[in-house]
Amino acid sequence: MQYKSIVSTIIFLISTLVLNTGVAFAHCDSMEGPVVKASQVALETGNINYVLVWVRAEDEQEIKVMFDKVNKVRTLSPEAKELADMYFFETVVRVHRMGEGVGYTGLKPAGYQPEEGIEAADIAIAENSLEPIYAHLDEEQNPKIKDYFADLQSKKDYNVNDLKAGREYVEAYVHFIHYVEAVFKGESVNDINSEHKH
């Protein structure tokens, strides 16, 4: 039966991805992270651009092909929808992390607690305020945080169909998160912009 065959294939693919795990250190691979959230909006609205901003231009085709396949499968049944959606999340996160030069290590479940710096940075973005960060760090000793935050805020209201502007926002977001995460870890300012991956 075609339905069972498709569902079995999806289960196998998800299992392969989930089992291929290691130690992760960021939250873009979390079910509550921005990449999965963007993927959810893309699937519910039918607009793939919500998620394309989170991957490199050269990786667009892979995501587009997967998006089309998933949209066909998810209409078969509630179970197929759940499995297809999860496979899409896994694929997008893997491709996003690959674009950053980081290996894919599996999706963290809902409720996953990111590192303190990442959590503070995300709360600051959500609240449009740096207070959640400065509650832990000295503002005068970390002036670049304000600069990176201002850059991020200036790019947040992009048109979802403008992939260039969307990717500029994502780049600013990742840069801000990396920087705050590194400062919370007490790393040298000279090393912060080296090879931290989100």
Tell me the per-residue pLDDT of 98-139, one tens digit each, with 9 for 90 and over: 887 777 777 776 666 667 888 889 899 989 999 999 998 888
Residues 91, 18 share a domain? yes
Cβ atoms 105, 22 nearer than 8 A: yes
**60: in domain:** yes
Write down which residue in 99, 132, 147 finishes a domain. 99
- Indicate if 95 and 123 belong to the same structural domain: no
What phi-psi label fits residue 171: left (phi over 0), alpha (psi between -120 and 50 degrees) or beta?
alpha
* Percentage of the residues of the chain whose pLDDT score is greater than 90: 53
Find the range with the poorest average confidence among 15-19, 74-78, 188-192.
15-19
Which whole-number Å values give the CA distances from 151 to 30, 82, 131, in the listed order?
25, 37, 17
Residue where a domain terminates, one of 99, 127, 159: 99
The average pLDDT across 21-31 equals 53
Looking at the fold, whether 178 and 128 belong to one and the same domain comes out as yes
- Mean pLDDT (the chain) is 81
Domain count, the chain: 2
Q: Does one domain contain both 174 and 123?
A: yes
Domain membership flag for residue 197: no
Domain with 30 in it = 2-99
pTM: 0.76
